[in-house]
Structure 1
Amino acid sequence: MGQYVDVTKQSGESFAAYLSVPAQGSGPGLVLLQEIFGINEYMRGMADRYAEEGYVVMVPDLFWRSGPRQELGYDEEGFKRGLALRNELVEDLVVEDIGDTVRALRARADHAGGVGAIGYCLGGLFAYLSALRLDIDCAVSYYGVGVQDALDEAGLLKAPMVFHLAELDKYCPEAARNAIRTAFEGNELVRIYDYAGVDHAFATHGRDVYDPAAAGLAYSRTLLVLRETIGPRYDLSALWDSHTYYEFEARDVPATMSTMVDKPYVNHIPTMTGGVGQKDVARFYAHHFIPGIPEDTKMIPISRTVGADRVVDEMLFCFTHDREIEWMLPGVAATGRYVEIPLVAVVTLRGNKLYNEHIYWDQASLLVQVGVLDPEHLPVTGIEQAHKLVDKSLPSNELMPSWPDSKGKPVA
């Protein structure tokens, strides 16, 4: 998606930066700050990903004085070379280069709004220093190395700041993490997130320490501060409603796919049906999902939670089993039975497009309701599950044989 451009310094010198712009043509600015491995595939990929989120992204070459466009691998040789390049840096000059990048971003015709900075490892330190010394609107530090040595400037911080800290990080050890927490205790501009059981660089895919769950959580938290401070702000609820309209009402596959990113994925968790990528997801919708939607399908909303990059929808999914529903009841012929099933959709968006759907329901309750699972002597329920969801006064604990025995017993 991106390309290299030159950033011209006030001195007249120039250095390279990787640039990625959003499909809609303009957006707030974002400076991504590299690890010690230079502007490698990971950094370019993250720049493209944030461009999908709606940002004009620049990744400045922080090592240019030692040699332009260094790109290192994650092997021992790359690590040694990266440390050597790190030792050649002059921190004040690097902050100056980042300031030049910020000015270059603000001068672009496709820049609209504020500017934020996100840094990883080495870049995590410089994201923090940039928040202290430059005119930026927010900053995010992923496991920044050396932040604890610059905490005497902590009082200068005037922009919202996020720190992502890893429990097993030997490059930002416990003492350093505690110093960061102490320095910003009570500072409402700062959010510090701890990630248990993960190591330094847990957000870098392609490395052995990559942890997708922690990386995904950190990414959402990063987007939250970006959206709050520099935007862009999307109506995620309306985007999700548009997608479901094309699925269930219009039953229009091209229109449905137009609401999704270039590489979406869909996963109906109980049956593991769906697809990955435009081709497979479109095939799934066209030949297996949309034809399998019963005629009288109705979705009754229960609750909806909207975050920085996702929507969590809780509903009752109601239908008559008038056909084989391959995505929900694969291999089960139509029974003609009426079903009400609680269903939860966890939908992630990138910018103004859907990225993925995780759809959950209780398969046991569904099988009971269509008559292919006998609930006797099994800890499962049928339509009673749906009724209890909307009427809290209905009895609880009826599947627990010992529930009556605890009546009147002390609770402490």
Structure 2
Amino acid sequence: MTADTITIDAPDGSRFDAYRALPECGHGPAVIVLQEIFGVNRHIREVCDFYAEEGYVAIAPDLFHQFDAGIELGYEPADFEQAFGYFQRLDVDRTVADIGATVATARAMDAVVADDQAGGVGVVGFCLGGKLAYLAAARCDVDAAVGYYGVGIDDALDLADKIRCPMALHFGGLDKFSPPETIKEIRTAFAGHNDVQVFVYDNADHAFNRWGNDHYNPGAARLAHTRTLAVLRSALGPHYDLAALADHHFELEFAARDVDETMKTMVAEPYVNHVPTMTGGTGYENLKRFYKHHFIPKNPADLQMKPISRTVGVDRMVDEFVLCFTHDCEIDWLLPGIEPTGKYVEIPFVVIVAFRGDKLYNEHIYWDQASLLVQIGKLDPAGLPIAGIETARKLLDKDQPSNDLMPNWATSADKD
């Protein structure tokens, strides 16, 4: 992606700057990123870069320019005090008008397109920006809106019926600024709006999406982002064929065995985690080293995958299959440190592939290591609730026996 600073004409005759990040292809739908109370600081610029990776023209307008140009605060106590001062003095109507001007500017950009047609514009806001995203949905003619832990939305619920675009609101269950009674009030106001979703993340606090912050909650942040993308992709695009992207990546790995081309299908800093053995790599250099020396050339000659199911979502794909091979080489990623046994193996696998835009971001791979060790003769299953190749055979044929590992199964034969 590339980034620059643009200038926007405000309705009151003033002008203000905005940070803009462009996706690698140079065009896409627009997402207006609405700041927290700390200005367009490093974090907000990184959020724009993040959405550019997802395929959007991401624009963060300087909404504090009514005080001074380029206000950028950190998270020390003095910064918080200054930030709350700006928050308390903010002219909200003027700010919403500035957001409207940003939306209009985005719509006029040559770079703002979706699926080869004139692209839509959405807003995504955080904290102060979360409420502003809600107000923009009501007053700025946007095509989609998402608010993260917006404070004060409950004070503007009289605007609920003015919202015509899809909208998602994210809240932390531990957020004292948006207690349960506030969230209930918001849900009640939108009970009849099928395009409005309110999500609560039980173990998350305010600012759960601000990475590097004490309240950052990676699980809640990832789930909220997927739900945000569901709103944006549906309303704005861009639309990617994730299955085709993944299949191309797999072909380069297993058929072409081309490390450099495989890496080109991934984001700048990807990661792979084979969960049972904790093998893989984080970051471009480590992952390329892993692929080049420990994965692509370290697979058996007869390796094959028997597909079971595939589920494709908005930003990830789940493949379920049986991996079959003869253990004819040391497989660093699967059986590290174990010499070839010559045994034939069939193992159920699950691969979860996450994407950013049209590139793979990460892969989480799961399998039953105990069953694998049984099949190569390295683990005695006697007296243990584990099985060998039977696990794969059962997955491929539902009529194979069930409950053979359960000693108490026979005791329920005559029970209702």
Q: CA deviation at 1:288?
A: 0.5
| Residue of 90, 115, 123 corresponding to 1:117 | 123
The reply to whether residue 384 of structure 1 matches residue 390 of structure 2 is: yes
How many residue pairs end up in the alignment? 410
The aligned counterpart of 2:188 is 182
In the TM superposition, residue 5 of structure 1 has moved relative to its aligned partner by 1.8
Equivalent runs, 1:366-377 vs 2, <5 Å? 366-377=372-383
Q: Contact 2:168–2:228 at 8 Å: present in 1 too?
A: yes
2:244 is matched by which residue type in structure 1? A
Matched, 1:38 2:39: yes
The equivalent residue for 1:8 is 9
Residue 301, structure 1, aligned to residue 301, structure 2: no
Runs of 5+ consecutive residues of structure 1 not aligned to the other structure: none
Residues in 1 aligned to 2:203 and 2:27: alpha-carbon distance in whole angstroms: 39
Q: Does residue 394 of structure 2 align to residue 393 of structure 1?
A: no
Is 1:164–1:192's contact at 8 Å kept on the other side of the alignment? yes
**1:354 has 2:360 as partner:** yes
CA contact (8 A) 2:18 2:59 kept: yes
| 1:66 and 1:88 in contact (8 A); partners too | no
1:88 and 2:89 aligned: yes
1:37-76 counterparts in 2 under 5 A? 37-76=38-77
Counterpart in the other structure of 1:408: 414
CA contact (8 A) 1:309 1:348 kept: yes
Whether the 8 Å contact between 2:274 and 2:364 is mirrored in structure 1 is yes
Residue from 280, 286, 302 that aligns with 1:274: 280
* Deviation digits for residues 169-203 of structure 1 (CA, Å, limit 9, x no counterpart): 11112221111010001310111111112111111
What is the CA distance between 1:205 and its match in structure 2?
A: 0.7
Cα deviation for residue 157 of structure 1 reads: 0.9
Could you tell which deviates more after superposition, 70-79 or 367-376?
70-79
Cα deviations by residue, 1:100-156 (Å, 9 ceiling, x for unpaired): 111111111111110000001100000000000111100001110000000011011
Paired letter, 1:399: L
- Aligned-partner Cα distance in 1 for 2:390–2:79: 60
The code of the aligned residue for 2:121 comes to V
1:395 & 1:76 partners in 2: Cα distance?
Answer: 64
Mapped partners of 1:290, 1:105: distance in 2: 44
Matched residue type, 1:87: Q
Map of 1:135 onto structure 2: 141
1:11, distance to aligned residue in structure 2 (A): 4.0
Contact 1:139–1:159 under 8 Å retained in 2: yes
Q: Shift of residue 408 of structure 1?
A: 2.0
Distance 2:38 2:307 in 1: 48
Residue in structure 1 matching 2:256, options 250, 260, 283: 250
CA contact (8 A) 2:11 2:97 kept: no
The answer for the alignment partner of 2:116 in structure 1 is: none
| Structure 2 counterpart of 1:366, one-letter code | L
Indicate the SS of the match to 1:158: coil
The aligned counterpart of 1:100 is: 101
Partner Cα distance (2:353, 2:251) in 1: 15
Cα distance in 2 between the residues matched to 1:230 and 1:289: 38
Mapped partners of 1:341, 1:373: distance in 2: 15
2:220 maps to 1:214: yes
Q: What's the counterpart of residue 261 of structure 1?
A: 267
2-structure distance, mates of 1:198, 1:57: 26
- CA positional deviation for 1:78: 1.3
The CA distance in 2 between the partners of 1:257 and 1:297, in whole Å, is 21
- Separation in structure 1 between the aligned mates of residue 3 and residue 82 of structure 2, nearest angstrom: 26
Q: Does 1:365 align with 2:371?
A: yes
SS in 2 for 1:305: strand
Q: Percent identity?
A: 54
Query: In structure 2, what is the Cα distance between the partners aligned to 1:57 and 1:226?
Result: 12
Distance 2:411 2:11 in 1: 80
Partner of 1:146: 152
- Matched residue, 2:20: 19
Distance 2:139 2:330 in 1: 62
Structure 1 runs, 4 residues or longer, greater than 6 Å off: none
Measured in 2, the distance between the counterparts of 1:250 and 1:223 equals 32
Name the aligned partner's letter for residue 119 of structure 1: G
Letter of the 1:281 counterpart: L
Q: Aligned partner of 2:132: which letter?
A: F
Amino acid aligned to 1:185: A
3-state SS of 1:180 partner: helix
Q: Distance in 1 between matches of 2:370 and 2:260?
A: 33
| Structure 2 SS opposite 1:354 | strand
Query: SS at the partner of 2:44?
Result: helix
Q: Is the contact made by 1:239 and 1:352 (CA closer than 8 Å) also made in structure 2?
A: yes
User: In the TM superposition, what are the counterparts of 1:338-349 in structure 2 within 5 Å?
Assistant: 338-349=344-355
Aligned-partner Cα distance in 1 for 2:318–2:4: 36
Q: TM-score, normalised by structure 2?
A: 0.97
Residue 168 of structure 2 aligns to a residue in which SS? strand
